[in-house]
Chains A and B, each alone.
Chain A
Amino acid sequence: MAVEAPNRLNEQIAGLDALEIQVKRKRGVAALLWGRIWPMLIAVGIVLAIWEGVVLAGFWPEYVFAGPFTALEELANRLGTAEFWHAIATTMRRGLSGFALSILVGVVIGAAVSRIRLLRAAFGSLITGLQTMPSIAWFPLAILLFGLNESAITFVVVLGAAPSIANGLITGVDYTPPILLRAGHVLGLRRIALYRHLILPASLPSFLAGLKQGWAFAWRSLMAGEILVIIANQPSLGEQLHYARELADSARLLATMIVILIIGVLVDVLFGVADSALRQRWGLDQRIG
């Protein structure tokens, strides 16, 4: 009987492995960035053109609806003022601390609800219901409870963001592939270890999606809050919007809106980077064609 010599066997295995492994094209960081940026630039160009078109059409006088050049010029001027950076710093501080608190609350609630059946039956749909509630509807109550201060803003930001984050975690836990659970069981993973080494990592993509959505809600709630809850000597982006309208300063209003939009886009890009890094590590980034 023909016995395959061990050496030949090893070579055969190595040969098959070499043939089967995928060759990956690697792109540089610059190329990756440029690939992301140029479509955005085109979109920005189109939006500016439409904006200018509407202004030129003359539906509104220039002092009500400033054109893109006036607004961008105003923005450029404001870049040099301390107040501008102070406003951004205040807003970002509120946003980030509120978001951090939301993550804490969302994770605790999400973990409890996904783990305990009774809690899920009781609160599962309530969490989704909270998600659909417009955050601005909470402000009257928040102001009554906390007064016109940052606590009221944080309260609403957390109410806006935490349900999404909790839901992301719950979905992730629910959609842990059964085959991985079986493998984990056979490996001897139980209880806490099962969560730590299997269920939590497996729910990461969904959790990340929850974070991204949570941030969007947090950011909206924050802007609503800053317009409503104005604190003396604390310039913020929302406060600037409010005063620009009071003073009928259209250029300043639009400039501030651009800043808010840019921050939103930048954070979205950050989440996008995290998401694509995750997809690449997990091998979910394979495209067809």
Chain B
Amino acid sequence: MTAPAQELGSGRTDGQRPAVRLDAVSKVYGRGANSLLALDKVSLDAVQGDFVCLLGASGCGKSTLLNLVAGLDRPTTGDIDTGERKIAMMFQEPALFPWLTVSGNIELALRVQGLDRRARRARAAELLDVVHLGGFAKKRPHELSGGMRQRVSLARALAQEADLLLMDEPFGALDAMTRDLLHDELERIWRERNLAVLFVTHNVREAVRLGDRVVLLSSRPGQVIEDYPVRLARPRRTESADVAELAGTITERLKEEVRRHGR
């Protein structure tokens, strides 16, 4: 595997049409006096092949943002343009269907796309190999560990042949070692498939480890306050000094934002 070592994050966005464009997106929950402004005129775009991490403290509406892009919810005002792109999404929970086998879960995603039975079976096996779970096709989700389930969930998302992958704290519930491995996995898959990824997390180091850009959101209402380009060579390690340094800078800014709510 030869890694293009000096890949610069947002440098290559020039001149390309965005894979996803959010234009002054606002989301209000409830009405009248009880209404809550979750997102306030958020504008953001990412091109194909861009890995964008959305970072923020609680109440910054980062999950809301992903739900809007996924079409699980509608913005109150503003526009979201994903072109005709297919969108896949991963959640913090694996959200696998317990009545299906590991392979069956992936095959269902393929079925929605109209593949016939044989093609589904074969493709599911390929995808399980991609996430190193080739030997577990016939297991049930509950027989796997949390990290393995999350990989099945990733394989299911990949089965959708999406161009845009939305990830809502997908590794938040995993132990550090498993998370490190999944970072490597995700980075490899992202690069091989030239995906656009919107990755929500509250873990600053994880954001710096993975992202071409780290977009910092304020809380209540959620607004973009910083858009850090991450110009560190890949592959990166979560524990390396340059990752820690940038993470430190971003953390300071994040703390400042949190303190604002304490005054």
Residues of A within 8 A of B (CB): 1-4, 6, 9-10, 12-14, 16-17, 20-22, 24, 179-180, 182-183, 185-189, 193, 197-198, 201-202, 204, 281-284, 286
Q: Is B233 an interface residue (CB 8 A)?
A: yes
In the A-B complex, the 10 residue pairs with the closest CB atoms = A283-B142, A20-B145, A183-B95, A282-B98, A186-B89, A188-B112, A201-B99, A13-B132, A179-B95, A187-B109
Tell me if B112 and A193 are in contact (CB < 8 A).
yes
Chain A contact residues: helix, strand, loop or mixed: helix
Tell me if A16 and B108 are in contact (CB < 8 A).
no
Tell me if B143 and A21 are in contact (CB < 8 A).
yes
- A196: min CB distance to chain B, Å: 11
With A3-B235, A281-B140, A282-B140 given, is the CB distance from A17 to B148 under 8 Å? yes
Tell me if B145 and A21 are in contact (CB < 8 A).
yes
Q: Is B77 an interface residue (CB 8 A)?
A: no
Q: How far is B98's CA from A204's CA once the two chains are assembled, in angstroms?
A: 11
Residues of B within 8 A of A (CB): 1, 3, 70-72, 87-89, 91, 93, 95-100, 108-109, 111-113, 132-133, 136, 140-148, 156, 160, 177-178, 181, 184-185, 233, 235-237, 240
Residues of A within 8 A of B144 (CB): 20-21
With A21-B144, A281-B140 given, is the CB distance from A187 to B112 under 8 Å? yes
Beyond A16-B181, A21-B144, A282-B140, 7 additional contacts (C-beta under 8 Å) are A6-B1, A13-B185, A16-B145, A20-B146, A182-B95, A188-B160, A281-B99
Q: Which of A14, A21, A185, A189 makes the CB contact (< 8 A) with B132?
A: A14
Tell me if A20 and B147 are in contact (CB < 8 A).
yes
Q: Which of A6, A182, A202 makes the CB contact (< 8 A) with B99?
A: A202
Q: Which residue of A lies closest to B71 (CB)?
A: A185
With A10-B132, A17-B145 given, is the CB distance from A186 to B240 under 8 Å? no
- A225: min CB distance to chain B, Å: 37
Q: How far is B100's CA from A274's CA once the two chains are assembled, in angstroms?
A: 17
Tell me if A186 and B99 are in contact (CB < 8 A).
no
Q: Which residue of A lies closest to B131 (CB)?
A: A13
- B61: min CB distance to chain A, Å: 17
- B211: min CB distance to chain A, Å: 18
Question: Which of A3, A186, A204 has the most chain B CB within a 10 Å cutoff?
Answer: A186
Residues of A within 8 A of B184 (CB): 4, 9
Q: Which of A9, A24, A187 makes the CB contact (< 8 A) with B156?
A: A187
Q: How far is B140's CA from A280's CA once the two chains are assembled, in angstroms?
A: 10
Tell me if A2 and B140 are in contact (CB < 8 A).
no
- B3: min CB distance to chain A, Å: 7
Residues of B within 8 A of A3 (CB): 3, 235
Tell me if B98 and A22 are in contact (CB < 8 A).
no
Tell me if A201 and B142 are in contact (CB < 8 A).
no
- B170: min CB distance to chain A, Å: 12
Tell me if A1 and B233 are in contact (CB < 8 A).
yes
With A4-B184, A185-B72, A186-B87 given, is the CB distance from A20 to B240 under 8 Å? no
With A186-B72, A188-B112 given, is the CB distance from A204 to B99 under 8 Å? yes
Q: How far is B237's CA from A4's CA once the two chains are assembled, in angstroms?
A: 10
Q: Which residue of B lies closest to A19 (CB)?
A: B145
Tell me if A16 and B97 are in contact (CB < 8 A).
no
Residues of B within 8 A of A9 (CB): 181, 184
Residues of A within 8 A of B132 (CB): 10, 13-14, 17
Residues of A within 8 A of B133 (CB): 17
- A274: min CB distance to chain B, Å: 14
Residues of B within 8 A of A193 (CB): 112
With A183-B95, A283-B98 given, is the CB distance from A16 to B178 under 8 Å? yes
